[in-house]
Amino acid sequence: MNYSVAELMAVVLSRRLREGDVMVTGTNAGITCSAALVARACGRPRVRTIIGAFGTVDPTVELVPASGADQSFLPGRVVTDLISTLGDQVRGLADVICLGGLQVDRDGRVNLAVVGDYSRPDLRGPGTIGVSLIARLERTFLYFTEHDPRTFVERVDFVGAQGLRPGGRGLEVIVTPMAVLGPVEDGSRIDLVSIHAGFDFEQVQARTGFALDPSRAVVTEPPSEEELAALRGHPYGMSLATMTLG
Amino acid sequence: MNYSVAELMAVVLSRRLREGDVMVTGTNAGITCSAALVARACGRPRVRTIIGAFGTVDPTVELVPASGADQSFLPGRVVTDLISTLGDQVRGLADVICLGGLQVDRDGRVNLAVVGDYSRPDLRGPGTIGVSLIARLERTFLYFTEHDPRTFVERVDFVGAQGLRPGGRGLEVIVTPMAVLGPVEDGSRIDLVSIHAGFDFEQVQARTGFALDPSRAVVTEPPSEEELAALRGHPYGMSLATMTLG
Amino acid sequence: MGKIARRMELEACVAELVEPDSVVGLGGLHFHNMPMALVRELIRQEVPVGRLVPSIDGSIDADLLIGAGLVREVQVAYLGLETYGLAPRFRAAAEAGTVRVRDCEEAGFGLALAAGAAGLPFAALPAGFMPADEGLPSVPAVNRDDYREIENPFTGERHMLIQAINPDVALIHCQAIDAHGNCGFFGGSFLDVELAKSARICIVQVEREYEELPSACRRRLPGYAVDAYCVVEGGAHPGSSHGVYRHDDVHLRRYAQLARSDHGFERYRGEMIGVSEAEYAAASRLDDRIEALEAGPVG
Amino acid sequence: MGKIARRMELEACVAELVEPDSVVGLGGLHFHNMPMALVRELIRQEVPVGRLVPSIDGSIDADLLIGAGLVREVQVAYLGLETYGLAPRFRAAAEAGTVRVRDCEEAGFGLALAAGAAGLPFAALPAGFMPADEGLPSVPAVNRDDYREIENPFTGERHMLIQAINPDVALIHCQAIDAHGNCGFFGGSFLDVELAKSARICIVQVEREYEELPSACRRRLPGYAVDAYCVVEGGAHPGSSHGVYRHDDVHLRRYAQLARSDHGFERYRGEMIGVSEAEYAAASRLDDRIEALEAGPVG
């Protein structure tokens, strides 16, 4: 069965969602909202999505806008507001936060602030957004539309958040167009989880700035018929079939 | 011209309201809402009222309910919520808070918590409500439906709030069915401001638990025609004509 | 963790979810939107409360529990019957020393509850808020449990903090709930959303279930903050349920009168609490009263 | 003190109310509900900004001011063009060291703004929030202005506080205002109400005046928190004004492209800013664009 990279990424994330999860998302949420869609259709009907900018729970949008603060995200089952949604995340009423990043390192640290020296950076990024939230939420999902060696580094230049916490808690999964990364069993570091069909270990290693363990190079389980049907049964899930990444 | 005690009390308070004032009120707000009505009609059109329980600004109620949290108080020009109204008061976006009390002393302290020893009180009152708000707002208006010697005491048994602050700020006026009290010129203590027509100094002193200065016993200026017309031109203002106090 | 709201019977909500000697928060304000059915059920099951936290302005809800001898300690900004006078059983118990009182001031109480709801351990009080001079008792001097002084690290000045309020259980009344446990308030919501989130366990009693929350809802509590709910029509009586019925003046006035004496309170309790809400409904003529008190839509 | 909102011209709002070297807060989120007309006017009048505080997620609003060389320091949780990439002028200035960056994390930023709005001097951060180990730079280690450590007086544990945000001036965009200065947001209001209240002076630019706020308003800012307002149709362009028009993808894309280079930015500035909003309207074909981008009602 044919599927797009975006569809595969959504399905990978969907499998990490557990019944009752509350997932916070925002910018470029096509993939994350679709992941919730698949999870709900595949036996976890109580998975919930919050759009952070509005506090919209389960937005009723037809097509997911790129901007996390687009007005299309306002209608939903319940809408609260930005500040109470921040509070809900700190309080631990949400389970999963979905983010991107400038850099992620093998210790699971996430950086969106600077590349290079902090006081005179080579690249100044947008900020440290979400750091205390990553530190408070039980689980973090990271997703990237490119698998870039500048993103996956040995050691971040700035600690936006310690994504991976003691005992392997915190950062749970990183999905890219080439592979799935995540904490190893004892939670001590980030390594390969699987490689998407069509790529091999050398290709992934070449685009990853820290050493991966080749023995972990299994193939990402492709979307099942049920998963694809769930995706394609909804307008925004359907849009992933033709989504261009990166 | 005839007028009721409640009408006089509303008019006394209305004269203290300045253009642009934001006044916070709640329980038994018939008199305070009417005071705002009179002020608006008499040259201060931008006087605003907030019902604290809801954050209702300028409620559009026909008859003022006794309870400060009655649903009739919900419609208004703007409705926010309880917690942001608390914040607005602390922030100093409101000017005046209207309250009652169990005890007020000559130093302008207000007590709603206990009479007698704190740990084993003779009378346990409702609490210390509003204390940090009195301390934050520029001006406090107190109003009582009885002029009771147990209310006006030499020294409170518990400091709910230091109503009168250095320089005579804070507690601005106390109105009862018999008299008006307030800080003396240098702000050092509470004394008489005026006595309502029909009462004399001895009567007021007999019902006040701290010494008043007889030289201050002027007559409360009665409501003007304009003030009474403003009151009686609105359903809730009109209700004061027949309101029973105490 | 996001919660999944379970539909349960009133009795089970109390029996299964309210541990003896818990910290219990009560929603509503004055005699509006009080979780009265849950309160009556606590009395029927004689569940002792370690600390009662009536949300900012407590009323007959807290007074009943105190009168029933179930409350060891009560944390109050205001506890009274508002337009019906003082809270008679609270007054009697506090004067007799049979209930411990933790006095908070109103702004601090609100800030403490908001901090609890937002997962923060404490909140800053407004600058300048300090114990009274001259050794007179005052908040915060009489409440060392909840108020502490620090040096403001930005200015070096003395500054007071208040501890967050995080009850074990919050009892909330609202008008509507949808199939996903999302709750809707037709009128005031006071500090109910904050209280619901601040508690470890949130129990909601609701007037009616809806497929989707009606547009009459002025504020909403997301279902991910709700552990369990029970449907109890008239559950806020003798208080109001905003947008559904007004408070029962006759009933409240009678309570205020009876509860002034021990035997009067026992008479009220004996007549009204019964063994179930059905008995309460019969004793209070609930259906008639609710109909007579029908509230128009809010606003 | 309760404020009385004054109706003023856009030019006068900036000339009379924004002091040079002030702390200036910008409302909106990403490229939605940005106070762009006020931002362009700051550039026209060349008002230097001591510290710029774009509300939680800054965008082209902050980037323009930085590109114009008016900003000494910027306090950010996020400053970027979201779906259009990094903020090019912020990036260039930060890399060249010509703007000082005060990094805050998102939750702390929100808490600091809420504390500022509520008149509190600081806010508690969540427990466990501490500088990163191993000496790698992190918030709060790199921002000693806003973050300080205390001993939690309730537990004895180390705990971080964040200083309240209280700008001198807040610039807010909204859709509606009534005759009493009460403001209404048809769509998202983000942290705009908090920002408005946190500032000493609050200036609002609004799409349209109404006798009474329309029911389409999802959130309201009371007029007692507003110092002055100006009516500028299309004032949030090239961003969206929720419920009125959507963001201008073509314009934003072009800005993101041009602003990558100094001369590209100067070209944009020369073409677009002009001497008045009328010139901006002509250069950006504002009327056509607003019409083409008309947004349906929200929700």
- Asked if C150 lies within 8 A of D153 by C-beta distance, the reply is yes
Nearest residue in D to C120, CA atom: D126
Q: Nearest CB to C125: which of B132, B157, B162?
A: B132
pLDDT, tens digit (0-9, with 9 covering 90-100), for C209-259: 999 999 999 999 999 999 999 999 999 999 999 999 999 999 999 999 999
Predicted ipTM beyond 0.90: yes
Interface of A with D in 57-116 (CB under 8 A): 66-71, 74-75, 79, 81-83, 86, 89-90, 109, 112-114
CA angle C197, C198, C202 (to 5 degrees): 60
Q: Minimal CA–CA distance to D55: which of D14, D113, D108?
A: D113
Residue D137, chain A, CB below 8 Å: the answer is yes
Answer for the pair B135, B171: CB distance below 8 angstroms, yes or no.
no
Crossing angle of the two packed helices B30-41 and B5-16, in degrees rounded to 10? 60
Task: Count other Cβ atoms within 10 Å, centred on residue D102.
Answer: 18
**What DSSP string describes A91-134?**
HT---EEEE--SEEETT-EEE-SEES-TTS-SEE-SB-TTHHHH
3-state secondary structure of C59: coil
Tell me the per-residue pLDDT of A203-237, one tens digit each, with 9 for 90 and over: 999 999 999 999 999 999 999 999 999 999 999 99
Burial class (CB in 10 A: 0-12, 13-18, 19+), D22: buried
D113 touches chain B (CB under 8 A): no
Within 13 Å of residue A12, how many CA atoms lie on the same side as its CB? Answer: 32
Q: Which residues of C touch B122 (CB under 8 A)?
A: 95
* pTM score: 0.97
Using a CB-CB cut-off of 8 Å, the residues of chain C touching D121 are 124, 127, 152, 154-155, 159
Picking from A2, A69, A7, the residue whose alpha carbon sits closest to that of residue A239 is: A7
- Look up residue A112 and give its two tokens: 């969106």
C197 touches chain A (CB under 8 A): yes
Q: Each residue's pLDDT tens digit in chain D (299 positions)?
A: 999 999 999 999 999 999 999 999 999 999 999 999 999 999 999 999 999 999 999 999 999 999 999 999 999 999 999 999 999 999 999 999 999 999 999 999 999 999 999 999 999 999 888 888 767 899 999 999 999 999 999 999 999 999 999 999 999 999 999 999 999 999 999 999 999 999 999 999 999 999 999 999 999 999 999 999 999 999 999 999 999 999 999 999 999 999 999 999 999 999 999 999 999 999 999 999 999 999 988 87
Query: In angstroms, what CA-CA distances link A42 with A37, A95, A178, A224, D181?
Result: 9, 19, 24, 10, 51
Q: In this structure, is the dihedral angle defined by the CA atoms of residues D153, D154, D156 and D157, taken in order, positive or negative? A: negative
pLDDT digits (tens, 9 = 90+) for C144-161: 999 999 999 999 999 999
| Residues of chain C numbered 168-187 and touching chain A (CB < 8 Å) | 178, 180, 182
Q: Which residues in chain C have Cβ-Cβ distances shorter than 8 Å to A86? A: 118
Query: Which of C113, C122, C162 best probes binding to D when mutated, by most D CB atoms within 10 angstroms?
Result: C122
